[in-house]
Amino acid sequence: MIFKGSWPALVTPFRNGKIDDKAFVALVERQIAAGTHALVPCGTTGESATLSHEEHRHVVELCVKTAAGRVPVIAGAGSNSTDEAVSLLQHAKAIGAHAALVVNPYYNRPTQDGVYAHYKTLNDAVQLPMFLYNVPVRTGSDMPPELIGRLSRLPNVIGIKDASADLSRIARHTALCGKDFIQISGEDPTAVGFNAQGGVGCISVTANVAPQQCAQMQNACLQGDYGLARKINDTLARLHRALFLEASPSPAKYALSLLGLCTDDVRLPLVPMSSEEHKKEIAAAMKEAGVL
């Protein structure tokens, strides 16, 4: 299985407080038709923190079923509870996900030895490829390169989604983890620069809204055509910013609602976008990107 390119961190569409299966299936089909390289359900953008365990499993299974092997599915399976993460990982493997995305444990504030023990327990419990997920702005703690190097020696840890926004880490990770360690950006605005330093893709919020453009940009990077990649990214730069004007994924869901693809409903404590100025900026950014 090849893990490269544009991977949307899929939103979980809601209608009247429930998961909108029909809208989710349509979103997956739209992504595949647009040339998306892989799908990531139940990550941060999928509001995994406020999905019940049953809902979480349902969304991952629906994604795998809809994709039907056409593109890889990397299932969100992270938790600050190791036992819960093991359970989500077991389910992801059982229903045919190709890999899992596992976030650095949050809230508990474990030591680096604790973080290592968390991932080692997952590695030993379930034989499924894993991507580490370092997002200090959300977890409140960082996974330094030295820890990534140590974790990369676990057999099932094959790569990282790095949302630290520190592009200097890519070379350090390569030195510590080896050239086969798969490095995926977790930040849209720096994704082209990330790839130029040795990354091979992006788990993207923007790809929810502009899947074709994001896929084309990643294809250009993979082909070494950074002139084209920058040109595409220039048209997306305003949208990258606009989709974080308020807490994600509220802006992404508002943008998708403008396209008639889902409602802008989010789960509390998130609320739909309320700023008319922000809404206008998202619409303008979508027009600049050629999606509205």
Q: Catalytic positions, please?
A: 133, 161
- Measure the CA–CA gap between 107 and 139, rounded to whole angstroms: 7
| 275-282 long-range contacts, CB within 8 A, separation 24+ | 275/245, 275/246, 278/242, 278/245, 278/246, 278/251, 279/254, 281/242, 281/245, 282/239, 282/242, 282/243, 282/245, 282/251, 282/254, 282/255, 282/258
Strand 182-185 relative to strand 157-162: parallel, antiparallel, unpaired? parallel
Alpha-carbon distance 29 to 257, whole Å?
Answer: 17
26: buried, middle or exposed (CB in 10 Å: 19+, 13-18, 0-12)?
A: middle
Of 110, 123, 112, nearest to 102 by C-alpha is: 123
